[in-house]
Amino acid sequence: MKLLAKMFALVADKFQNRTDKQGLPYILHCIYVMQHCGLTDEVSLCIALGHDLIEDTDVTTDYLQEHFGLEIALGIFALTNVGFDSYDEYIKSVAHSVMVEKLVKIKLADLQHNTQVSRLKGLAKADFDRIEKYHRAYTYLSKL
The CATH number linked to 121 is 1.10.3210.10
pLDDT reading at 120 higher than 90: no
**Rounded distance, CA 128 to CA 116, Å?**
11
pLDDT at 117: 86
pTM of the model: 0.95
At residue 121 the predicted structure's pLDDT band, cuts being 50, 70 and 90, is confident
pLDDT at 119: 83
Q: Which domain holds residue 133?
A: 2-142
pLDDT reading at 118 higher than 90: no
Burial (CB < 10 A; 0-12, 13-18, 19+), residue 49, is: buried
Annotated active-site residue 56? The verdict is yes
Annotated active-site residue 127? The verdict is no
- Considering 41, 55, 66, 89, which one is annotated as catalytic? 55
pLDDT reading at 88 higher than 90: yes
- Overall average pLDDT of the 14-33 stretch: 95
Of the chain, the percentage scoring pLDDT greater than 70 comes to: 100
Residue-averaged pLDDT of the chain: 96
- Overall average pLDDT of the 99-122 stretch: 93
- Considering 13, 20, 52, 56, which one is annotated as catalytic? 56
Domains of the chain: total: 1
**How big is the chain, counted in residues?**
144
